[in-house]
Structure 1
Amino acid sequence: MPAALVALLVLVGTAAVGLYGWAAERVRHVGALDDYVGRPPAGKGTNWLLVGSDSRGALTPEQRNDLHVGNNTVRNTDTIMVLHSGRHGPYLVSLPRDSYVPVPGHGRTKINAAYGAGGPRLLTRTVEGATGLRIDRYAEVNFLGLVRVVDALGGVRLCLDRPLRDARSGADFAAGCHRTDGRRALAFVRARYADPQGDLGRVKRQRQLIGAVADKMLGPGVLFDPFRLLPVADAGLAAVAVDNGSGTPELLAMARAMKEVGGGGGAAATVPVASPGVATAGAGEVLLWDANGARRLFGALRVDAVIPTSGTD
């Protein structure tokens, strides 16, 4: 749910109109970071793990039907990104949900299965093991949060070079630009079965939606209108949970980094991929990283260097 990740940017607006304390009281926390034997050492800069939870438990049967998500209440993740802030960033790196990586205690499987098997702590540990990066901060948004935030904004504008139709997600877009409500925005970022790029195509749409929500949220029509800002802030804060050590100052720092990426600063990339759509006996079709490319990318992040961008998107 990438739009909900950007919903954290609303904290910039709440601070601007004197609602900083109001927002701070509403920040929700979740246990996500643990020390363990073999944990990667701290690197330079700050690494956020940004997660969109695919839990359907909060949805009514009518909402599940309308949003084309079915009745499965298994907790998985539609969005997994690492946001690195440092001297050269910010860098936003997407980890496709079908990435085939070791999950502690569960063998090699899809990275998004770690959340369903052990929640935020196991997902964080899995990402740390797969990337070699220490995760310093964690932010998660719930499934319904995307719908509520986009609707609170009055919709967002999305543009497509070619039609996108996916019966399983409910996406039905002609080529061109569209004003999109929360339900359609959710279908837009969840679509992958009708996309020849599969999970990789969805990652690109996630980042597109990030930019669209950021533009709308940080525009004067929201920031300087308390009657619009308060509902947006309330929806965003209700959707988000962060690690126990993070609060409003950390969210504001993250918001500034996300705003910069959305405005074209820093860089956005996907972990280099060697083979998408590889069939496995236990996990179905998975995506294999390019080991050398991933090593160079995460090695650069670890020492806060300029990342290699060739082959990452």
Structure 2
Amino acid sequence: MLLLVALLAWPVGLLVWANGKIQRTDALSGASGTDGTTYLLAGSDARGDGGVAEDGTTGQRTDTILVLHVPASGPTALISLPRDTYVEVPGNGPAKLNAAYAWGGAPLLVQTVEGLTGLTVDHYAEIGMGGVSQIVDAVDGVNLCYDADVDDPDSGMVWTAGCHDVDGTQALAFARMRKSDPQGDVGRALRQRQLIGAVMGKVSPGALAVRPGQQVSLVDAGTAALTTDEDASIVDLGRLALAFKAANGADGITGTPPISSMDYRPGGIGSTVLLDPDLTPAFFADIRDGALPAGEVGGIPGS
């Protein structure tokens, strides 16, 4: 009986404890809801943060922006928005997408993404890239693959083509590398999704059930690195994880919106990524309605 009580009490206690450790911030716009559930995932990259390589940039920015949408019916979609996407930032005019975060943090990023996609963000989750290392180490490392040799001083990624077991520091460099990738931000987004998928594969309920010590260390690392919107609970994060897994499965959708140019130069803000103005609105409407077939979407034009 005591063993049964302990087995039942442990997950409940862990849930309550984890929920109390979540860091929250005002992020949501309060806009009228759209069909389905939409999550905005951002990777914040603060220079000087532990584990983040220095590259001369100061302050904080978001190099990773993902829209995860679960429609009422149809495939779950995970769409990467390149950080340099040319957008209209509310109150600031045309700019690169990650400028919204630099200027107004999570609230302005949420508003900008809502204006771009037509989807109301129901939950926001931000992970400090410096915390990626601790999360990977908490699951005893992951196996990652990249089919090229890399020696990239900006990210710290040193790689021999193929698949390798990596620790947290190596995983962070894998997720941050951009300049040595011929696909730039699009290629980096692919590797970041691979990394998150690899971590999730190590934290499946079956794998953790007999390792309570790892459960605690993972919650510690995850909640230290993660900031969510003001309304999110640990249950919402669990649903987000399940949605992410579904999007990356055989029945999900991953990729980018339709891209017209990877080097659009409107003047005054340098090189930007231009989404196709004719195809993008219908694309996000189909994502909202679950109308697209499962598989890869978007990508670099002509690739």
Q: Does the pair score TM above 0.5?
A: yes
Is 1:80 aligned with 2:80?
Answer: no
Larger CA deviation: 128-137 vs 16-25: 16-25
| Equivalent residue number for residue 50 of structure 1 | 41
- Conserved in 2, the CA contact under 8 Å of 1:43 and 1:303? no
| Equivalent residue number for residue 199 of structure 2 | 213
Q: Identity over the aligned pairs, expressed in percent?
A: 41
Larger radius of gyration: 2
Instruction: Give ranges in structure 2 of 5+ residues lacking alignment.
Output: 1-8
- From 133, 137, 147, the counterpart of 2:119: 133
CA distance 1:72–1:161, change in 2 (3 Å): closer
TM-score, reference length from structure 2: 0.88
The correspondence of residues 181-192 of structure 1 with structure 2, limited to 5 A, is 181-192=167-178
Is 1:26 aligned with 2:21?
Answer: yes
For 1:297, the aligned partner's letter is F
- Conserved in 2, the CA contact under 8 Å of 1:301 and 1:307? no
For 2:44, the aligned partner's letter is S
- From 237, 240, 245, the counterpart of 1:251: 237
Q: Which one scores higher on RCO, CA 8 angstroms, separation ≥ 6?
A: 1
Q: In angstroms, what is the RMSD of aligned CA positions?
A: 2.2
Distance in 1, Cα, partners of 2:279 & 2:160 = 35
For 2:38, the aligned partner's letter is N
- From 261, 268, 286, the counterpart of 1:300: 286
The correspondence of residues 143-292 of structure 1 with structure 2, limited to 5 A, is 143-218=129-204, 220-292=206-278
CA displacement, residues 81-132 of structure 1 (integer Å, 9 cap, x when unaligned): 1111122132111101111111112221110111010000000001011111
Distance in 2, Cα, partners of 1:165 & 1:16 = 43
How far the C-alpha of 1:286 sits from its partner, in A, is 1.0
SS class of match (2:271): strand
CA displacement, residues 228-254 of structure 1 (integer Å, 9 cap, x when unaligned): 221111101111111111112212211
Instruction: Give ranges in structure 1 of 5+ residues lacking alignment.
Output: 1-13
TM-score, reference length from structure 1: 0.85
